[in-house]
Amino acid sequence: MHRTPWILIASETIGIKAPLYVVELAAQRMLGWTPEGAPFRRLLNHNAEIPPEASRVNGYTREILEHYGEPPLQVYDGFARYVGELPLVAYNLRYDLDDVLRPEWQRLGIEPIGHPGFCALRLTQRLLDPVPAGNHKLHTLRQYYRLPERGAHTASGDVETVVDLMQQILRPLAAARGLETWDAISAFIAAPWFPSRIAFGKYKGRPFRDALDDPDLYGWLQWLASVSTPHSAEMGRWYLDQLSASAQAVAAHPMMLGTGPSASSELVLFHDPELETLRLLIADNLSRLADLEVEYIQEHHSVEVVQSQLFSFIRPHYERRDGLQLKIQYRRKYLDTLMIEGVEEAETVIPEYEDTRAETEREYQEAAAHAAESRALSDLEQREIKTIFRKLVGLYHPDRFAHQSEKQEIYKRLRQIPNDPDGFLLRRGMSSLDFDDHTELATLRQLYVTLQERILNLLDELEQLRVSGDYELLAISRKHPDSLQEIANQQAAQIAAEIAELEADASQLAEEIASLTGTEDPFGD
């Protein structure tokens, strides 16, 4: 492997069905596990419409591609020279090559470039089994393993992330399995394989090896092996073959059995090695979860601070707009009631309006008070949060504090946890775990799965936060601290246009009320 040259590729497309136009093509020449030479990265201009949903994901617009993009034939000519006759590898090779590039080359009348190598996704699935991060999505693995930040939703960023993943995570795992050559890796990927945790059905999430001491699960695998669907039957047979090999290995090494002559005649695996492995995995996952909780709190709080600053700048415009909308709503209600049910019934709308207006004013006062208190966390405060969450690594499921609006409330709750962890767990209907030798294996397995799910959910929440408009505003303010006032002025101008239209509507309704009742408008100016 160390002397084998190959090409790592990734593409970014527009559209969700054929034709999938490539708008960015990236590649990196590799020598074994190591990048060699300059990367390849080009933008393509197909003069095609770009759906808004595609632009929101990858950031490419028709204007950008018309300015920076090149004709596709020109790009692929350069790509062919970069690749030569080397094999192509991608994180999802079947998609990038079979669904995207080959159809595009055929559409453009281009001869196929390079030839298929191995799929990096399949290599990852086999080496990271069961996957600690919960899934094999590239951005999830990047965050889980704390790989460097790269360009999100870009082909060049994906190539760089796959290089990081291979060098830092996959390479040592492959070496531990003796996968030292290109041919060995290719054969490893091509061999039949299914995940060690069952992915569907009544036993979803269970390790298939549980069937060694669970007759019901073993019976289900036998049923799976006998179904008429070829792929499902292949899966069932593969699991049964692996179980048979495990049983034969145990029979050849009696020390893997129970406790000697008094043991049952039935096969009972000695579980201590798995218990030790689970303890290590759980400790690692708890530590990772603590770090992610801290990261989310800090990022979410920073977003709130920027939003509070922006609110403070344009609060008067918001209040004026919302006040006019409220008057229009109740003036219309007053008129509708007046014309159908008469003056006396219409008069009951006025106190409703006063109550709603008072509630709206209270909400604005509370929002303003919160905005006034919001500020960026100091270095000392950030270190304290990290220290507190580090103390949570022995807990079953650290509580979430990301959505607390009051920072003092965050600290109040956080500080209670390390002081009384067992009480914290019991108040949430959970018992503490000491992870001693008497802890049931099934409990630890379930805990491991739960922690994986929580980490995955939190990674998804972080990803959603970082692609949100509010986070984009935070990123802009971090790069250009004086930009908030400019953004506030732009938003204020937009709201002012709304206010002008609302004032016209409100004035017309007030005149209509006055003409029908002969009195001044009861809702004021």
pLDDT digits (tens, 9 = 90+) for 183-219: 999 999 999 999 988 888 888 888 898 898 889 999 9
Q: How many domains is the chain partitioned into structurally?
A: 3
- Is position 491 within any domain? no
Give the CATH number for residue 124.
3.30.420.10
Give pTM, 2 decimals: 0.60
| Residue 419 per-residue DSSP state | H
Q: Is there a single domain that holds both residue 184 and residue 213?
A: no
Q: Is there a single domain that holds both residue 250 and residue 354?
A: no
Interhelix angle 155-165/120-127, rounded to 10 degrees, is 40
- Kindly report the three-state secondary structure assignment for every residue of 69-100: CECHHHHHHHHHHHHCCCEEEECCHHHHHHHH
Q: Is there a single domain that holds both residue 138 and residue 218?
A: no
Average pLDDT in the 413-422 region?
Answer: 48
Q: Please, what is the average pLDDT of the chain?
A: 79
Average pLDDT in the 495-515 region?
Answer: 89
Q: Is there a single domain that holds both residue 137 and residue 214?
A: no
Q: Is there a single domain that holds both residue 215 and residue 351?
A: no
Which of 132, 164, 190 marks a domain boundary? 190
pLDDT tens for 230-283 read 888 999 999 999 998 877 766 665 544 433 333 333 333 333 456 666 777 777
Q: 57 falls in which pLDDT band (50, 70, 90)?
A: low
Residue 421: what pLDDT? 46
Q: Is there a single domain that holds both residue 212 and residue 183?
A: no
Average pLDDT in the 489-510 region?
Answer: 89
- Is position 376 within any domain? yes
Q: Is there a single domain that holds both residue 375 and residue 429?
A: yes
Q: 38 falls in which pLDDT band (50, 70, 90)?
A: very high
Q: Is there a single domain that holds both residue 180 and residue 251?
A: no
Residue 268: what pLDDT? 34
Q: Is there a single domain that holds both residue 314 and residue 372?
A: yes
pLDDT tens for 310-328 read 888 888 888 889 888 988 9
- Is position 123 within any domain? yes
Q: Range of 413's domain?
A: 275-476
pLDDT tens for 149-169 read 876 668 999 999 999 999 999
Q: Is there a single domain that holds both residue 370 and residue 450?
A: yes
Residue 222: what pLDDT? 93
Residue 86: what pLDDT? 96
Q: Which of 273-282, 283-292, 374-383 has the lowest mean pLDDT?
A: 374-383
Q: Is there a single domain that holds both residue 125 and residue 234?
A: no
- Is position 345 within any domain? yes
Please give the torsion angle defined by the CA atoms of residues 213, 218, 220 and 223, in that order, rounded to the nearest 10 degrees. -170
- Kindly report the three-state secondary structure assignment for every residue of 174-202: HHHCCCCCHHHHHHHHHCCCCCCECCCCC
- How distant is the alpha carbon of residue 381 from its chain centre? 27
Residue 262: what pLDDT? 33
Residue 427 has pLDDT above 60, yes or no: no
Q: 59 falls in which pLDDT band (50, 70, 90)?
A: low
- Is position 225 within any domain? yes
Residue 408 has pLDDT above 60, yes or no: no
